[in-house]
Amino acid sequence: MTDLTTKYNIIDEKPPFNAPLKGQYKQGFGYYTMRERLPVILTQVIDQLSKDKEQIVANFGGETAREELKGAIGEISKLKYELQTDKDFRPLKTALGDETVWNSFLEGLGQDNSYFSACWLYAETYMYRRLNNIFENTQTLQKLDYFQQQKHKALTNSYDAMVAVLRSIEAFNGETRTTEEIGSFFRNLLKLNLWGNRCDLSISAGQDVKQDGDPFSLLDSLDQCIVRDQTQDIWECITVNGSSGIVEIINDNSGYELFTDLCLADFIVRHQLAPQVCFNVKAIPWYISDVTPKDLQWTLDTLASNDSQPLLAQFGTRLKAHFASGALDMRPVDHFWTSPYEFYRMRDIAPALYEKLSQAKLLVFKGDLNYRKLLGDFNFPYNTPFVEALRGFLPTSLCTLRTVKADLICGLPDGMAEELTRKDASWMVTGEYGVIQFAGK
């Protein structure tokens, strides 16, 4: 055994079933994340801050910002060292008002309170929370989004694909359609939205991502990669009470994926499938590409002001009108979304949020991290029914649109996971496969 294996109690096995995923299992993606991905991400943050130093100094407060930026870079280096050497989690300093919840959670971990020994979900979430805590405790850099450039590129790099998507949507909306046709197109929009989740900067370790080509034209060929498809159940849910009842989207990534979220929301309100669609975004920079309020507003402004692509400008203008009328809305940020807690604990930890969500007719959970929180990073046998894996979390009917980027999944038919593993041992971490799962209430 290597020094690393001995020192940090690394076990050269796959993560066991019926137990939390942890970084200590060497054959799991959690170990690879702790050992390789997260240190690279922190290094890239340091490099980007160093590269943008003069611009940051100019924008955020002159020489005071210069000194605080230098100190922040040093603190990020310390955080990276703590991660690589499996140090115990340190309490958060006074910050956004969520530090009491966080520090109470950390105290309750007992001996499993380090990067490789803790549940992977806790460890990775803690790293991103600690990263932002560094900037919160400065005078000048509290509002600095150190992932902003990458998120902006994730949108602008995908303009051609976005125009192609809007052409298809406008062609559909340009004719009178039957309920069956609207339902079929809605199901395709769910699939389009699913595959938009491939554009995840935290999985690409911050490398630029883009969507090429005409995404609608690829949907049929990608159906074979959807290992659980409950789009029909979602359609029946959203239409069962006519146009009453709002839809809540719990967002994941900025860029092209957020664009597909907006397309889905626009379609829902234009076809009167719901009176309102609400967006739930993150309070702080999170997992590189997650949507913040600033990201959503920037996206709307960027689309509406696009001089070179009229379809994008028209779409952005229409979205702004939806937000102005209340047909679309952004919920006030809730720190539960950037807490370490699994969703089955929401009713106790964030009862007001749980109550708000329970008033919707459908919750749409986007992406891999939300999926991991739905399952609590608990390695259920892969044929465990989805609703059972939720462990009682069902404030209302909900669905999840997730490309598979972690060795965690449920709700599959007997033998399917094993068959996929025989074809490709890494199928659960490539983002090549997806699930659209539904639990009704």
- pLDDT tens digits along 106-140: 999 999 999 999 999 999 999 999 999 999 999 99
Question: In the predicted model, is pLDDT for residue 332 greater than 90?
Answer: yes
Which helix (H) or strand (E) covers residue 403, if one does? Answer: strand 398-403
Candidates 154, 229, 149, 136; CA nearest to 187 is 229
pTM of the full predicted structure? 0.96
374 and 404 Cβ atoms separated by less than 8 Å: no
How close are the terminal C-alpha atoms of the chain, in Å? 50
CA distance 62 to 47: 20
User: What does the pLDDT look like over 355-396, one tens digit per residue?
Assistant: 999 999 999 999 999 999 999 999 999 999 999 999 999 999
**pLDDT averaged over every residue in the chain:** 95
Query: Which band of pLDDT confidence, cut at 50, 70 and 90, is reported for residue 202?
Result: very low
Span 99-111, average pLDDT: 96
Name the pLDDT band for 204 (thresholds 50, 70, 90).
very low
With 50 as the cut, is the pLDDT of residue 436 above it? yes
> Can you give the pLDDT at residue 310?
97
Domains, the chain, with CATH or none = 3-136 (1.20.930.60), 148-439 (3.40.50.10880)
DSSP annotation of 278 reads E
Between 32-46, 237-251, 273-287, the lowest mean confidence (pLDDT) is in 237-251
CB 264 within 8 A of CB 238: no
- pLDDT above 80: residue 404: yes
Q: Which residue has the higher pLDDT, 5 or 379?
A: 379
As to burial, measured by CB atoms within 10 angstroms (0-12 exposed, 13-18 middle, 19+ buried), residue 48 is middle
Please answer whether residues 115 and 32 qualify as being in contact, where contact means their C-beta atoms are separated by less than 8 angstroms: no
Whether 263 shows a pLDDT value over 80: the answer reads yes
Cβ contacts of 109-112, under 8 Å, gap ≥ 24: 112/22
Confidence of residue 205 (pLDDT cuts 50, 70, 90): very low
Q: What average pLDDT does range 298-303 have in this prediction?
A: 99
**Rounded (10°) angle between helices 179-196 and 159-173:** 170
pLDDT at 412 over 70: yes
Q: What is the pLDDT of residue 197?
A: 82
Containing 279, the helix (H) or strand (E) segment is strand 277-280
What's residue 70's pLDDT? 98
Residues 6+ apart with CB under 8 A from 118: 22, 23, 89, 109, 112, 126
What band does 203 get if pLDDT is binned at 50, 70 and 90?
A: very low
Buried b (16+ CB within 10 A) or exposed e, 164-193: bbbebbeebeeeeeeeeebbbbbbbbbbbb
